[in-house]
Amino acid sequence: MPPVSGWDRSGNLCVAKGSPGGQVIVVRAFQAAILLGILLPGAALAAPLQYLSGAGDKATPVVWLTWGVLAISVIVMVVIAGLLAGAIWHRPGQGWTVGDKAPILADEGGLNWLWIGVCVSALVLLFSIVWTVKVLAQIQAPSARPAVTIEVTGKQWWWQARYLSDDVSQQFTTANEIHIPTGVPVRLKLIGGDVIHSFWVPQLAGKMDAIPGQTNETWIEASAPGTYRGQCTEYCGLQHSKMALLVVAEPDFDFRKWWAHQLAAPAAPEGRALMGQADFQGQCGSCHAVRGTEAEGALGPDLSHLMQRATIASGVLPNDGPTLAHWIADPQSLKPGSQMPAPALSEYQLANVHAYLKTLD
Ligand code: CUA
């Protein structure tokens, strides 16, 4: 296949005329671009972790900016690709000979178009920059005083959430599934518990690093009830990719009810679960806490109301019976490198612990 463009002996830039190879490349490139343009946003919108739609005062301007910049980029790409295709494909009044070259002559005004192109590009870029800076300023701080403050600590490889209150008796700790009330801003105090992590819930915006030894403040807001998936976005070790979280947004009444329930100790276990509680406190209680019991560890997630969570292992496994049983018996097979060791318990004892965990509602 002859080259699509090059320089002739007089130093003129030339493009190949009527080259079938060039035409095929252009047609294929357009087909691929159109296919990608249709498929990618469709697939992205259906993904659990996506930033092409948002809910809330913080996410909405960011989503508009995202689509705006995407649209500008697509228009620029189409215009440039169209001009390139036109140049490759067609030179009016001349024949189509493979490998033949046509010089771009100065009297055709080609250089003027160069200046016009530079000016148009500069204006479009300037517009994008102004829009971006405006959005950044807009989402810097919430318009209203945050209704709730949550201290979120990133740890290898899960998230601890401590709900703060002026009344210390109202404070509690949970993990990986953060409930928030809808329609109001929620302040987040981000801390790195061991290494640097980064908190991101794309549909609510709010991407910010969690760094050891300092507290980074940000805010999120959900305008509609729902479950919004988040993810650690700073490489933090072997299981970085399995450090997810869920933000559950619910109406204020439900949120207050949930908070009150979190403060209460779970119901006392009976029978097999009671035996499991003893094994749990002996084997797991130095790392995990369950309110109102001797299990008061703080190294791992607080499990006081474990059964109210949809997921385990930091949002990556469903919280169903078989998965939970597998997880407590052999966590390393599900999340290699996890800080959770397999407990030194017999199968019978593991079944008891499983029965106990299922009572933590
Ligand atoms: Cu935590 Cu990546």
Relative to the CA of 241, which ligand 1 atom is closest?
2
Residue 64 CA to its chain's centroid (Å)? 17
- At residue 20, does pLDDT exceed 70? no
Alpha-carbon distances, residue 92 vs 17, 18, 81, 87, 96 (angstroms): 10, 11, 19, 10, 10
Do the beta carbons of residue 14 and residue 102 sit within 8 Å? yes
Centroid of ligand 1 to alpha carbon of 198 (angstroms):
6
pLDDT-wise least confident of 46-55, 131-140, 294-303, 349-358: 46-55
Q: What is the pLDDT of residue 206?
A: 72
Residues 6+ apart with CB under 8 A from 248: 177, 178, 179, 180, 226, 227, 228
What torsion do the CA atoms of 222, 224, 227, 229 make, to the nearest 10 degrees? -40
pLDDT, position 1: 44
- What is the per-residue pLDDT for 255? 96
**Cα–ligand 1 centroid distance for 243 (angstroms):** 6
The rounded distance, in Å, linking the Cα atoms of 65 and 78 is 20
pLDDT at 11: 52
Predicted pLDDT at 21:
61
In this predicted model, what pLDDT tens digit does every residue of 233-252 receive, in sequence order? Answer: 999 999 999 999 999 999 99
- Tens-place pLDDT, residues 264-273: 999 888 889 9
Which residue's CA is minimally distant from atom 1 of ligand 1?
197
> What is d(CA 74, CA 211) in angstroms, rounded to the nearest whole number?
37
295 CA distance to ligand 1 centroid (A)? 27
Q: Cα–Cα distances in Å, from 193 out to 210, 216, 263?
A: 8, 13, 23
| Closest-CA residue to 306 (of 273, 266, 258, 250) | 266
Report the candidate in 1, 48, 7, 42 with the shortest Cα–Cα distance to residue 21: 1
Which value, to the nearest 10 degrees, does the dihedral of the CA atoms of residues 337, 340, 342, 346 take?
Answer: -170
Work out the percent of the chain whose per-residue pLDDT is above 90. 60
Q: What is the pLDDT of residue 36?
A: 83
Q: What's the pLDDT score for residue 143?
A: 83
Whole-number Å distance, alpha carbon 250 to ligand 1 midpoint, is: 26
Query: Is 80 exceeded by the pLDDT of residue 327?
Result: yes
159 Cα–ligand 1 center, Å? 9
Mean pLDDT of the chain: 86
CA 162 – ligand 1 centroid, Å: 18
Residue 210 CB partners (closer than 8 Å, separation 6+): 152, 153, 154, 190, 191, 192, 193, 196, 197, 198, 199, 216, 234
Q: Is 44 helix (H, G, I), strand (E, B) or coil?
A: helix
Question: Average of pLDDT values for 281-301?
Answer: 91
Which atom belonging to ligand 1 lies closest to the Cα atom of 197? 1
Which has the minimum average pLDDT: 17-21, 100-104, 144-148, 157-161? 17-21
In tens, the pLDDT along 85-140 reads 887 776 655 554 556 565 555 566 667 778 888 898 899 999 999 999 999 999 98
Residue 241 CA to ligand 1 centre (angstroms): 7
- In ligand 1, the atom with minimum distance to the C-alpha of 237 is 2
Residue 67 has pLDDT above 80, yes or no: yes
What residues line ligand 1, using a CB cutoff of 6 Å? Answer: 154, 157, 197, 232, 234-236, 240, 243
Q: Residue 312 contacts by C-beta under 8 Å, 6 or more apart in sequence? A: 306, 318, 319, 323, 324, 327
List, for residues 24-52, the tens digit of each pLDDT value.
Answer: 776 787 788 778 877 877 777 777 788 88
The least confident of 51-65, 90-104, 221-235 is 90-104
pLDDT at 32: 84
Higher pLDDT, 259 or 7: 259
Q: CA quadruple 343, 344, 348, 349: dihedral positive or negative?
A: negative
Q: What is the pLDDT of residue 93?
A: 55
Work out the average pLDDT over 137-154.
Answer: 91
Indicate the pTM of the whole model: 0.80
Distance 91 CA to ligand 1 centre (A): 55
Q: What are phi and psi of 314, to 5 degrees?
A: 65, 55
Report the atom number in ligand 1 closest to the C-alpha of 233.
2
Where is 61: in which H helix or E strand? helix 59-89
Judged on CB neighbours under 10 Å (0-12, 13-18, 19+), 72 is middle
% helix, strand, coil for the chain, step of 5:
40, 20, 35
Using the atom order of ligand 1, give the atom closest to the CA of residue 156.
Answer: 1
Ligand 1 atom nearest to 195, measured from its CA: 1
